[in-house]
Amino acid sequence: MEKDDNLNENNTNYLRNSLIGIAAIGAIGYSIYKMRGGGGVKIADKKTTKKKVFKSRYHLDAKPNDVPKRGSIVTNESKQPLLRKFMSYKDRCDALCEDTSFSNPFDSNTSNFESNLKNQSQATFECRVLTYNLLAPCYAVYHVNEQSNMKCFDWKYRSKLIQKEIQAYAPDIIGFQEMESSKYKHFISGIVNQEGSLDYKFTFIQKTMAKLDGVSVGYNSSRFQLLQEKKIRTAKDYDFLVEMDEDEPNYHVSIIQTLQEKETGGIFLHATIHTYWNPKYEYMKLIQAHVLNKNIAMERQKIAKLLNIPEDNIPILITGDFNSTPDSCSVAYYTKGRVMIDDVLPKKQQAKFLKFMDIEKELVNPLGACCQPFPDYPDTNVTKDFHSSLDYIWYTAGGNISPIEVLEPATLNEQEYLPNALHPSDHLPMAATFKVIATTQPN
């Protein structure tokens, strides 16, 4: 009898504990349900749509009150991204000079190109280039907070907006960063299979060290053909980077492609990169950029020797998320063509760096000083706690390539951050159209 009583008591305790567990799970589920707006995410309540709607920057009647406050819900019932217009590079430079004491870069950046254009009989072609950090789904969770509209972080929702952006901007050359490997094929097929889409061909490389994302490049195969390609796994090819700082292993990758425009025969190189994110390790970003540029220089040297033409006649385009602000050493490395090691590392850390890099007091860009078509460095990364320019399109200053058109900067409200219902990533896409002198013949 005592045994039966104990059995009944155990069954009662088990049942009680089970009910408590079910109730706890239900409470957690209900909290998530409420946080996400209940049964799927509500972009906005119909009653407040007029007050919350984000008006396009093209609307002349847009008022500051129409711009959503930080963390508020942004409507996007049409599920269309907020697109920006292209404007001429000259107009952009002129506008900057009118509004500020900005030194107009237009003449200095285009004088060599115009001179070469007059002195050479070669044909020219135009090429639109875009760089875009997609915010990989595996990283999106780090941008979520208690005020976030959860639908803006859903990859299914975001990817469709990104695909529509690509179709609208119609770039010939694309550099993607934070492309998640498990989403790559489906995402790319969504771009290629869109009605009216260009005939893109893409390639992808995944980061090392068990990272889920990587970088991808694409080109319009109806206009360009791929001559050669090189994929770089920094940690694999340059083990000294890991040795320098074992706590911060180097797992970054990049891709270099040599492309030829079919009609004119003009050849150029395009590369994309995503450097290390941590602001404490600027030297690692600098090394990653230098490793990429050394490989680009070698690829250009090979193709120049094969075609028996000067290396400077082959222009270079580099797209990417460099995770470096305009005042950083990495940006100076491109704009000035060199950077002093004293500006990069403390004295006690310099010896090993100099030995591994086989340099003395400065790191020299093997491509020389480079230019970029956005002279005011507009913000490309806008989050709750940070906003600056991190994404760049660099081009060589040899005089055979020049920007003619740029995507206008986004006019985000000071209290708006990304991603949101109209901007599907925490980064904004950057795009520019270039005119290129074809110094080779179609063959």
Reported as a single tens digit per residue, the pLDDT across 37-68 is 333 333 333 333 333 332 322 222 333 333 33
DSSP string, 331-343: HHHHHTSEEEGGG
pTM of structure: 0.79
The residue with greater pLDDT, 108 or 123, is 123
Which phi and psi angles does 254 have, rounded to 5°?
-155, 165
CA dist 129 → 230, 246, 430 (Å): 19, 36, 8
Reported as a single tens digit per residue, the pLDDT across 361-413 is 888 999 999 999 998 899 999 887 888 999 999 999 877 999 999 999 888 77
Q: What is the pLDDT of residue 72?
A: 47
Q: How many contiguous H segments (helices) and E segments (strands) does the chain have?
A: 12, 17
Q: What is the pLDDT of residue 53?
A: 33
User: Does residue 262 contact residue 209 with C-beta atoms inside 8 Å?
Assistant: no
> Which SS3 state, helix, strand or coil, does residue 144 take?
coil
The 391-396 sheet, strands edge to edge: 224-233, 253-261, 267-274, 316-321, 391-396, 370-371
Q: What is the pLDDT of residue 69?
A: 44
Q: What is the pLDDT of residue 11?
A: 52
Q: What is the pLDDT of residue 364?
A: 93
Query: What does the radius of gyration of the chain's CA atoms come to, in whole angstroms?
Result: 26
Report strand pairing: 316-321 vs 267-274: parallel
Q: What is the mean pLDDT of the chain?
A: 79
DSSP state of 427: B
Give the H or E element holding residue 167. helix 155-169
The pLDDT-based confidence of 265 (bands split at 50, 70, 90) is: very high
> Which SS3 state, helix, strand or coil, does residue 429 take?
coil
The residue with greater pLDDT, 127 or 195, is 127
Reported as a single tens digit per residue, the pLDDT across 306-338 is 989 999 999 999 999 999 999 999 999 999 999
User: Does residue 46 contact residue 155 with C-beta atoms inside 8 Å?
Assistant: no
Q: What is the pLDDT of residue 284?
A: 83
Would the pLDDT of 82 be above 80? Answer: yes
User: Does residue 364 contact residue 427 with C-beta atoms inside 8 Å?
Assistant: no
User: Does residue 325 contact residue 282 with C-beta atoms inside 8 Å?
Assistant: no
The answer, yes or no, to whether the previous bond of 373 is cis (omega within 30 of 0) is no
Question: Considering only CA atoms, which of 136, 127, 18, 117 is closest in space to residue 425?
Answer: 136
Cα–Cα distance for residue pair 36/302, rounded to 1 Å: 55
Q: What is the pLDDT of residue 18?
A: 52
Reported as a single tens digit per residue, the pLDDT across 201-254 is 999 999 877 788 999 999 999 999 999 999 998 765 555 554 555 445 567 899
Q: What percent of the chain has pLDDT over 90?
A: 46
